[in-house]
Structure 1
Amino acid sequence: MRQKQYDSGGLLVGRRAECAALDGLIAAVRAGESRVLVVHGAPGVGKTALLHHLEGAASGLRVLRAVGVESEMELPYATLHQLCGPLLDRLPRLPPMQREALETVFGLRAGTPPERFLVGLAVLSLVSDEALPLLCLLDDAQWMDQASAQVLGFVARRLLAESVALVFGTRRRGPALLGLPDLEVAGLRDADSHALLDTVTHSALDRHIRDRIVAETRGNPLALLELPRGLTRTQMAGGLGLLDPDDLPRKIEESFLSRVAGLSAQSRSLLLIAAAEPVGDPLLLWRAADRLGLPAATDGTDGLLAIEERVTFRHPLVRSAVYHAAEAAERRTVHLALAEVTDAAADPDRRAWHLAAAAAGPDDTVAAELERSAERAQSRGGLAAAAAFLQRSVALTTDVALRADRAVTAAGATLLAGDLEGARRYADIAEREARTEFQRVGAHLVRARIAFAAGLNQEAPPLLLTAARRLEPFDMELARETYLVAWGATALLAADADSLLAISKAIKALPPRAGEPHVLDLVLQGCALLVTDGREVAVPVLRRAVPGLMELPAADVLKWGWVANGVSSAVWDDRAMRAIYRRSADVIRAAGALTELPFCLASLGTATTWTGDLAASATIAAEADNVAAATGVPIAPYVRLRMAALRGRAEEATQLIAVTVREAGASGQLMGVTVAQWAAAVLHNGLGDYARAMAAARASTEIAELWVSVWALPELVEAAARLGDEGTAREALDRLAEAAEPCDTDWARGVLARSRALLDGGDGLFREAIDRLGRTPLRPELARAHLLYGEWLRREGRAADARDHLTTAYEMFVSIGMEAFAERARRELLDAGTTVRRQRSELPVGDQLTEQERQIAVLVRDGFSNPEIGARLFLSPRTVEWHLRKVYAKLGVTSRRRLRDVLPLTEIGSSH
């Protein structure tokens, strides 16, 4: 039948433009480029025929195929396994983490569920490792399982220089395929429709009948080929029923069903087995047929079914038509037969799914099988599949108490799968069916987690607090972790002081742990004391936690490290701050928890800006943006905002500040507003616009936030002192002293001395600030101390001394790239009687590169291999090499060893 769709030139009838586009895609892949294409259109419009044309044109390419199957949409990585199965012999060549990820999701090994995007990176490495140019064809992509769709969408967005084509045929573009290059397939033009219709109407038709068929099928090739089958000229003359475009698939299905209706009962049963069995395994089909007493023959299926290496239907609409038209009892009988012939050891999940479909009512045995399947699905990272298994398990469970337990588990799995509404439904069931306090607590905890996952909002903290309190009698460790998450969520909102106080009091009331306190206990107690007793009491406890945080187990980093990492900031320990954030990023990256990585990288990037290594901060920010784009996790531009403020880039910084204030304020995340206003205060102090600096710093310090608002206090002291508002300056200084003095670090004491010197003057305070900050790597703070001392000396009439410090400040600002502060120092030097030629920060060698090229250059310079770089940047090794050739050309080098000479460590910063 497919042959009839080709014209004399070997192209599909009416599809010359589409065929030319597909031929061009193959030519590009042969030339060493990658291509991605989503071929989409209505059912029957010719997508599958175009994919067959593409396959026929792909001589010299290795072709991998997969087909989405509606009944497999809940089985994790089913489509991906189809596609990558022929490449699994190449797994040993992948980096260990990637190899283990694929082995886990394909059930080849037991292990913790890998992050979805680590699986995507592994697939990217797998397909790019193929020696021949590769064509990957995925038909009926609308029925891919969610895990496969997300992974393949990720891979499609990362292909560049791999000689790989990834082509999807789909009725509709789901979220995973949106934004990819596409080819929409519409109905044929009238002349082409007439030509195709001629291939199936063996006798002449009146012109008006032909015109009516063409008009009503809207040029849909499958409709033109299938609907006239078996109709007499009289029936065709009556028209095809004035088809609505949306009704065409149903009409085509009805046409197939009319053909099915003419078959024997045995042939119809064979078609139903094939429709219910998604694997396409002929042996499985014949075993099920034998169990139902059917003969091993397909002669009577009218060409609707082909059984060769795989079981295939004439068209996917045949499968759906046959399955949905069958009686429920018939479907249950077929599923039971398939379950009985499916190997329980080799394929237990598909067997359980067939058993569930065969159940006419609640069945505790099948429910238990589904629960075990959910555990296996979770171990492979199939979160959507685990949720589906558990949801069906709940429906089949007769014991009310057991149903409550399973509903809690189903709600949690559904939440992890990203379906908040579905998670709420099963949380409702859990609450309704709960028979014990422990079950009610479990239901409450999952509801609190749902509220937290829905975004930082006022609903989550009280739910988390109540959950933590109710957990205490059952699981004190989980209760402590929940208290810390509740505290962190409320602190980030920075809007509800009463809730934060209530959580902190509840934490203080917890019974002490027997023996030495765990780092979790120290963090919990210290965070609570920050709120209830102030920094003087809290800081000693928090400082005890810092060494433990630098060695925190990976499991704890992933669960509550995001809250604990702020401890080093609270105690003004800059070295610990950078070390803890760097280690957390390494742990999260190694665990493949890539949805969490952008937030940790943003914190590391901000911590790095304190050293003045803005190029290193830019590299970190680029990685954060890269990961966020790959995972679809939105991230606020905190690092870029901070960098723009330090550099004095007024237009760029102002735009970022406005966006952050608007978006963070709208979502109630006042910590984001605090960060933006702090950046604005730094920007305007650098520009010498002290009125706006004071307004921004005041706005930042008035928010009940525990970290960034403290960093804004020195900005408020400086701006208010320059404006002569001593009252505001003194009040800010007192608050700064309260926060800094208990910490007793050079960072804290240096900034405090510098701020005091602004109000009290005297060489001693300025020199203390310079001495203390000079013992830290915080170059921007040291440069600002020299600037303020020089300004004070000039106003004291000591021009010669002033010039020394102003020159030091100016040169430091220029080397860092703090352009506004450098200009402020230059103006002071002019007023001090020194002619200073305005300098601009020299363009670092690394700034000749794009952000991605800079990242690759730094990683190569630091000794990483191409596969290791690809793992960090979500690129294939081939694409890394492609970028590296461009880096060599721009920097005028020819080897990896030479990169260290042209990119010294102090210029761009270390990737470690």
Structure 2
Amino acid sequence: MISTIQRGDWGLTVVFRRDAGLVGREPELAVLDQTIAAVRTGESRVLVVHGPPGIGKSALLEHVESAATGMRVLRAVGVESEMELAFATLHQLCVPLLDSLKDLPAPQREALETVFGMRAGTPPEKFLVGLAVLSLLSDASESSPVLCVIDDAQWMDQASAQVVGFVARRLLAESVALVFGVRERGQDLLGLPELEVTGLGKADAGTLLKAAFHAPLDQHVRDRIVAETRGNPLALLELSRELTATRVAGGFGLPHAGTLPGRIEQSFVTRIEELPPQSRLLLLVAAAEPVGDPTLVWRAAERLGVTPAVALNDEIDELVSFEVRVIFRHPLVRSAVYRAADDEDRRAVHLALARVTDPQVDPDRRAWHLASAAPGPDEDVAAELERSAERAQARGGLAAAAAFLQRSVALTVDPARRAERAVAAADASLRAGDLAAARVSVDVAERDARDEFLRARAHLVRSQIAFSAGLGNEAPPMLLAAAQRIESFDTDLAREIYLQAWGAAALIAADGESLMAISQAIRDLPPPDGTPRPIDLVLTGYGLLVTDGRSAAVPVLQRATAVLSDLPAQDVLRWGWVGNGANAAVWDDEAMRLTYVRAVEVARGAGALTLLPIYLASLGIATTWTGDFAGAATIAAEAEAVSAATGVPIAPHTKLLLTAMQGKETEATELIATTIEWAGQDGQLMGVTTANWAAAVLYNGLARYEQAIPAAQVSTRIAELWVSVWVLPELIEAAARVGEDGIARGALDRLAEAAEPCDTDWAQGILRRSQALLSDEIAAERLYREAVERLSRTKLRPELARAHLLYGEWLRRQSRRVDAREQLRTAFDMFVSIGMDAFAERARRELLATGEKVQKRTVDQAAGDDLTPQERQIALLVREGLSNPEVGAQLFLSPRTVEWHLGKIFTKLSITSRRQLGDALPRDE
């Protein structure tokens, strides 16, 4: 262990280095060396190095940095006291790259400038920030490979953790390595490649102990020390430091290692307590100052009367180093210093740091220091924290805003003002995903609120917490009560809450009573002033849909449908997920597709990745219904990728319907079973209904009607307003085929109630096709013809093909073989061209029954069919003239990854340039 110290009056440099710190780490070093080697060849690598304190993670990260010769190394360290400052760790990592911000696409550049406080603006979606960081790293890797090292990642602030987790999952073809050192993997790092670092083996631990403890050690004593420390290198070194030859002779007086982190930290505490008072105070200043700025540390120390001549000594040199940054020998040294100090000293140190922190350059850290220095409630400090929360929210740092507000609440004197801040803290905590903290703040708000409006706002946040927590049937009535309480104070806000309550009840689906109560309350609302807004039309229509039925609701919802495709982006992001269902409620398939296309574009443009999978699921189902299976597969792939990147699971709605229509029995049945299991456990009953709807479609295609009936009945029994209607034709067809006329007629009555008020070709075509199944000979033919005519005017090719199939099957049973062949041949050709193999086989068997010879066929393999869904999507966008950065921005990929995919696309299509994509891909895509 070597230390060199150079002292000036205030210019102190301590260079600290440990030798022989990597004993027994050959396997770990090999993994790290392979990581660096792969990045040098143009690949991306991510590695989460995890293990308990003192196990040697930092030493391994130092090794990987030293091995990265010729590479650009970016380093950041999570700091426990900075966990409340939004994007603090990310800023450390990106500072060396900020000169390249100007080269990013405008939305990405503005997002990073906003979160780093370089410009004012609307808080960006955190995943747009992630895409900006991905682009920044990708651009940097063009000139040389990049190594990003983040040590103590367990102490990253939440905003940084979410962004780097997103980036880690999107790295693919960039020459970038992202290596984390972390004690325990948090949610944002789960699922990433990992390297667990455990204790040294007995022989290696003995070697390290022997090197550290120069006196002879009894073999049994050495074995006991190794066993009790579990081979933890730092524990071995710290124990050897405090043990003398006499204390370990024969094992007498040997201390028990206890819980290792606490035992190691206590060894540091013991050493700290032996230091002179000024040395301890200097360490405390360094521990309380999160940035590691030596100038700030020494300026604060000077205010406390600490001088280098008195404070510095060999013992302190072994605990902390002062170079460009103040760095403790080990994170446990920092925590040991801070926790060993008494409250009075901690407050004095934070006050000194607040005094030397520039209020213009770093107002938030100054406010945090002032809060830590406050001995009790202090309105001035509470107000300063509130302003810090506003700045944090402006940068998109919800977790930081929540932390500032929570501390502000604790320091507020006036109960009424405390209640105001508590409501704000609860709301920020809720949006940051900290439901426990949100509940605590709501309790304070409800206790201290002096007026009804504030109590109503607190109740609103509590009800939103219940909805976010997945408390099932509890959330809708709570949201209803909140809307009713807010109504007399803010009618616009109340109407949004009513819509949220209705959407929650419809999503939960099982709670018909709450949906009725909410709908009745909506119906009783006074009419809006002036011309109804889109939200007013949707809200009124939804209320009528439940209370008065579809006939009463359709005229209002049709007016809503006419304006939803042009809904302002802000409304798309705030309540569009509920409102867009109006199109499906009135059976307007064209408006439905246009609305969902717009919603996806808005969500992509805003980087709203938490909403994007929801809109993609809706667009995917609408696209599947048109028979564009390649397009639907592309949408499903994007939804899966976005869901994986955000860590927000959503039922695979598109893939369920797509595989069912394709007749892929093995894949579909496995996906259906898996979805029903986890969606039911997760409270996503919409996922359960979609899975059973898909099962009904699958089994009808396979002509296994007995299995289609129970699947369809599950969906129709759930009080849900969309899928439970769409599955009715499946139930009618299956029940009619096996002679269950009672089941079929009951389902037909429900279908008629839902479809008759909607004079659209989709609604009337499906209704006529279903009615024909249960009609007499004269009526059936007229109904089948009308169904074919109606559906041929839509883009719903699979439904039209099924109308031809049912008509052909009916004609064959009427012994009209020639007429039957015409309908069945049309159905067969359509099924084959779409890719509905099970239904095509069903049509082929019917054709054979008419005496016509027909060979099995599958959809012709067009150029590019061997492209993956994501490759197809990239190819189509490039064909339309988008650049790599533009494609990357839309698909949340780096430009370099887009280029990497294009190379594979060109190879599969046997082309060499972007211009050739127009000829290589079918023009109907």
Normalised by the shorter chain, which TM-score bucket? over 0.9
- Matched with 2:312 is 299
The answer as to whether partners of 1:718 and 1:729 remain within 8 angstroms in 2 is: yes
- 2:197 paired with 1:185: yes
The answer as to whether partners of 2:284 and 2:338 remain within 8 angstroms in 1 is: yes
Q: Which moved more, 1:197-206 or 1:144-153?
A: 197-206
Residues 760 and 245 (structure 1), Cα distance of their counterparts in 2 relative to 1, 3 Å cut: farther
- Matched with 1:397 is 412
- Matched with 2:721 is 706
State the distance in 2 between where 1:80 and 1:61 align: 20
**Alpha-carbon deviation of 1:6?**
4.3
- 2:161 paired with 1:146: no
The answer as to whether partners of 1:456 and 1:489 remain within 8 angstroms in 2 is: no
- Matched with 2:7 is none
- 2:147 paired with 1:135: yes
- 2:28 paired with 1:18: yes
- Matched with 1:898 is 916
**Alpha-carbon deviation of 1:294?**
2.0
Q: Which moved more, 1:228-237 or 1:896-905?
A: 228-237
Q: Which moved more, 1:84-93 or 1:885-894?
A: 885-894
Offset from partner CA, 1:589-637 (integer Å, 9 cap, x none): 2112111111111111011111011111111011111111111111112
State the distance in 1 between where 2:806 and 2:267 align: 85
Q: In structure 2, the residue corresponding to 1:848 is in which secondary structure? A: coil
Residues 296 and 527 (structure 1), Cα distance of their counterparts in 2 relative to 1, 3 Å cut: same
- Matched with 1:111 is 121
What is the aligned counterpart of 2:599 among 578, 581, 584? 584
Counterpart mapping for 1:675-694 below 5 A: 675-694=690-709
Unaligned runs of 5+ in 1: none
The answer as to whether partners of 1:14 and 1:192 remain within 8 angstroms in 2 is: yes
Offset from partner CA, 1:473-525 (integer Å, 9 cap, x none): 11101100111111111122222332222111111111111211111111111
Offset from partner CA, 1:729-766 (integer Å, 9 cap, x none): 44433433332222111112222222233324444333
Residues 683 and 70 (structure 1), Cα distance of their counterparts in 2 relative to 1, 3 Å cut: same
The answer as to whether partners of 2:705 and 2:735 remain within 8 angstroms in 1 is: yes
Q: Which moved more, 1:239-248 or 1:35-44?
A: 239-248
- 2:883 paired with 1:865: yes
- Matched with 2:70 is 60
- 2:808 paired with 1:790: yes
Q: Which moved more, 1:286-295 or 1:762-771?
A: 762-771
- Matched with 2:301 is 289
What is the aligned counterpart of 1:815 among 809, 818, 833? 833
State the distance in 1 between where 2:233 and 2:749 align: 80
Counterpart mapping for 1:162-201 below 5 A: 162-197=174-209, 199-201=211-213
Q: In structure 1, the residue corresponding to 2:333 is in which secondary structure? A: helix
The answer as to whether partners of 1:47 and 1:169 remain within 8 angstroms in 2 is: yes
- Matched with 1:887 is 905
Residues 171 and 127 (structure 1), Cα distance of their counterparts in 2 relative to 1, 3 Å cut: same
- Matched with 1:464 is 479
- Matched with 1:848 is 866
Give, as a single letter, the amino acid of the residue that structure 1 aligns with 2:888. Answer: G
- Matched with 2:13 is none
Length, aligned pairs only: 904
Tell me the percent identity. 68
Q: In structure 1, the residue corresponding to 2:180 is in which secondary structure? A: strand
State the distance in 1 between where 2:805 and 2:245 align: 95
State the distance in 1 between where 2:203 and 2:706 align: 74
State the distance in 1 between where 2:255 and 2:860 align: 70
**Alpha-carbon deviation of 1:771?**
1.9
Q: Which moved more, 1:379-388 or 1:43-52?
A: 43-52
Offset from partner CA, 1:259-286 (integer Å, 9 cap, x none): 3334332222111111110101112112
Q: In structure 2, the residue corresponding to 1:504 is in which secondary structure? A: helix
Give, as a single letter, the amino acid of the residue that structure 1 aligns with 2:577. Answer: W
Give, as a single letter, the amino acid of the residue that structure 2 aligns with 1:654. Answer: T
State the distance in 1 between where 2:717 and 2:328 align: 68
- Matched with 1:746 is 761
State the distance in 2 between where 1:214 and 1:800 align: 89
Give, as a single letter, the amino acid of the residue that structure 1 aligns with 2:115. Answer: V
- 2:46 paired with 1:36: yes
- Matched with 1:622 is 637
Q: In structure 2, the residue corresponding to 1:841 is in which secondary structure? A: coil
Provide TM-score, normalisation by structure 2. Answer: 0.93
Q: Which moved more, 1:878-887 or 1:218-227?
A: 218-227
Residues 246 and 124 (structure 1), Cα distance of their counterparts in 2 relative to 1, 3 Å cut: farther
Give, as a single letter, the amino acid of the residue that structure 2 aligns with 1:407. Answer: A
Residues 553 and 244 (structure 1), Cα distance of their counterparts in 2 relative to 1, 3 Å cut: farther
State the distance in 2 between where 1:422 and 1:746 align: 51
- Matched with 2:384 is 369
**Alpha-carbon deviation of 1:197?**
4.2
Give, as a single letter, the amino acid of the residue that structure 1 aligns with 2:405. Answer: L
Residues 288 and 520 (structure 1), Cα distance of their counterparts in 2 relative to 1, 3 Å cut: same
State the distance in 2 between where 1:904 and 1:199 align: 71
The answer as to whether partners of 1:274 and 1:285 remain within 8 angstroms in 2 is: yes
- Matched with 1:524 is 539
Unaligned runs of 5+ in 2: 3-15
Counterpart mapping for 1:72-471 below 5 A: 72-130=82-140, 131-197=143-209, 199-201=211-213, 214=226, 216-229=228-241, 232-237=244-249, 242=254, 244=256, 246-296=258-308, 299-300=312-313, 301-455=316-470, 457-471=472-486
State the distance in 1 between where 2:113 and 2:264 align: 41
- Matched with 2:552 is 537
- 2:732 paired with 1:717: yes
State the distance in 1 between where 2:389 and 2:32 align: 41
Q: Which moved more, 1:840-849 or 1:153-162?
A: 840-849
Residues 800 and 521 (structure 1), Cα distance of their counterparts in 2 relative to 1, 3 Å cut: same
The answer as to whether partners of 2:439 and 2:462 remain within 8 angstroms in 1 is: yes
Q: Which moved more, 1:128-137 or 1:205-214?
A: 205-214
Q: Which moved more, 1:29-38 or 1:692-701?
A: 692-701
The answer as to whether partners of 2:128 and 2:606 remain within 8 angstroms in 1 is: no
State the distance in 1 between where 2:696 and 2:269 align: 72
Offset from partner CA, 1:432-479 (integer Å, 9 cap, x none): 222211111011100110011112610001001111111111110110
**Alpha-carbon deviation of 1:178?**
2.5
State the distance in 2 between where 1:175 and 1:695 align: 38
State the distance in 2 between where 1:215 and 1:824 align: 69
- Matched with 2:499 is 484
**Alpha-carbon deviation of 1:164?**
1.3
The answer as to whether partners of 1:445 and 1:467 remain within 8 angstroms in 2 is: yes
Q: What's the RMSD between the two structures over aligned residues?
A: 2.3
The answer as to whether partners of 1:761 and 1:792 remain within 8 angstroms in 2 is: no
Provide TM-score, normalisation by structure 1. Answer: 0.95
What is the aligned counterpart of 1:654 among 655, 669, 672? 669
The answer as to whether partners of 1:228 and 1:236 remain within 8 angstroms in 2 is: no
Q: In structure 2, the residue corresponding to 1:367 is in which secondary structure? A: helix
Offset from partner CA, 1:805-832 (integer Å, 9 cap, x none): 2111110010011112111211221222
Residues 818 and 189 (structure 1), Cα distance of their counterparts in 2 relative to 1, 3 Å cut: closer
**Alpha-carbon deviation of 1:797?**
3.2
Q: In structure 1, the residue corresponding to 2:259 is in which secondary structure? A: helix
Q: Which moved more, 1:401-410 or 1:654-663?
A: 654-663
Residues 845 and 324 (structure 1), Cα distance of their counterparts in 2 relative to 1, 3 Å cut: same
Residues 678 and 157 (structure 1), Cα distance of their counterparts in 2 relative to 1, 3 Å cut: closer
Q: In structure 2, the residue corresponding to 1:900 is in which secondary structure? A: helix
State the distance in 2 between where 1:228 and 1:729 align: 82
State the distance in 1 between where 2:61 and 2:663 align: 54
State the distance in 2 between where 1:241 and 1:575 align: 83
Residues 685 and 261 (structure 1), Cα distance of their counterparts in 2 relative to 1, 3 Å cut: closer
Q: Which moved more, 1:30-39 or 1:772-781?
A: 30-39
State the distance in 2 between where 1:461 and 1:691 align: 36
Q: In structure 2, the residue corresponding to 1:129 is in which secondary structure? A: helix
Give, as a single letter, the amino acid of the residue that structure 1 aligns with 2:822. Answer: D
Give, as a single letter, the amino acid of the residue that structure 2 aligns with 1:575. Answer: E
